[in-house]
Amino acid sequence: MSSPIRVSVLDQSPIAEGSTGAQALHNTLDLARLADALGYARYWVAEHHGGPMLAGPSPEALIGPIAGVTSAIRVGSGGVMLPHYSPLKVAESFSLLAGLYPDRIDLAVGRAPGSDGLTAFALQRDRRSAAPDDFPSQLAEMLGYLEDRLPSDHPFAHLARTLPGRPHAPEPWLLGSSSQSALWAAELGLPYAFADFINPLGVRIVDSYHQRFIETGRAPGPHVAVAVWALCAPSREEA
């Protein structure tokens, strides 16, 4: 028997016409309170940089306030754009959140920059050259910290035991909209969040994820979230 579909929210903190980024962030908190009261499963916030219409560049900064004004809903990133960051820093930040809000924090990561090329370059600490495209190794290192599974001869292996939220940890997910991301998620045994609003032809991609899924202890089986556009208003006509 298939599991029931659970409804969640992916909030990009949009800035309404005539409003401000600060108000958009308060709107996110208000919507999270409502989603929690209505029994939604998850509330994720996105990462976008350098644009005038979205007020959410830092999921790791916004998740704590959301978790603090809710009580039951899982809160997480949809997602952290890992190429911008040190895997250790991401692991530390989300370990901290998991320690404060046990069994409620999700860490979904993605490969996209969440910005245009120039803004992505501005986010780099070292600008002598473009950042390397090494997402798979970044992802493996981040998981190694969270799970304390780095090889014993890894130079940073001891740092896994210093994460501040232990024994608690976030639930890792992989974001994607392509067959490559589905393959990574399947091989690593990770839950997979597919961006239908980017690629509406994802049925075959998700089927491939199910077929290739390898149990690694990170999830009991293939688990998929599908992100779609949703317009909400008092009437269908207004929406």
85 Cβ neighbours under 8 A, 6+ residues apart: none
Asked if omega into 78 is within 30° of 0 (cis), the reply is no
Predicted confidence (pLDDT) at residue 1 exceeds the cutoff of 60:
no
Predicted confidence (pLDDT) at residue 234 exceeds the cutoff of 70:
yes
Mean pLDDT over 22-47 rounds to 98
Q: Mind giving me the DSSP string for 61-120? A: HHHHHHHHT-SSSEEEEEEEEGGGS-HHHHHHHHHHHHHHSTT-EEEEEESS-SS-HHHH
Mean pLDDT over 121-133 rounds to 89
Q: What percent of the chain has pLDDT over 90?
A: 85
Q: Tell me, what's the pLDDT at 13?
A: 96
Which sequence spans correspond to the domains of the chain? 9-176
- How far is the C-alpha of 40 from the C-alpha of 114, rounded, in Å? 26
Predicted confidence (pLDDT) at residue 54 exceeds the cutoff of 70:
yes
Instruction: Give tens-digit pLDDT for 79-103.
Output: 999 999 999 999 999 999 999 999 9
Instruction: Identify the three-state secondary structure at position 176.
Output: strand
pLDDT band at 3 (very low <50, low <70, confident <90, very high): low
Q: Tell me, what's the pLDDT at 215?
A: 96
Q: How far is CA 41 from the centre of its chain?
A: 15
Mean pLDDT over 123-144 rounds to 93
Mean pLDDT for the chain overall: 95
Mean pLDDT over 98-122 rounds to 93
Q: Judge whether 178 and 111 are in contact, CB under 8 Å.
A: no
pTM: 0.93
Q: Judge whether 14 and 3 are in contact, CB under 8 Å.
A: no
CATH class held by domain 9-176: alpha beta
Q: For strands 42-45 and 105-110, give the pairing.
A: unpaired
- How far is the C-alpha of 143 from the C-alpha of 190, rounded, in Å? 10
User: How distant, in Å, are the alpha carbons of 29, 59, 118, 132 from that of 121?
Assistant: 30, 19, 5, 12
Q: Judge whether 213 and 206 are in contact, CB under 8 Å.
A: no
Predicted confidence (pLDDT) at residue 122 exceeds the cutoff of 70:
yes
Mean pLDDT over 104-108 rounds to 98
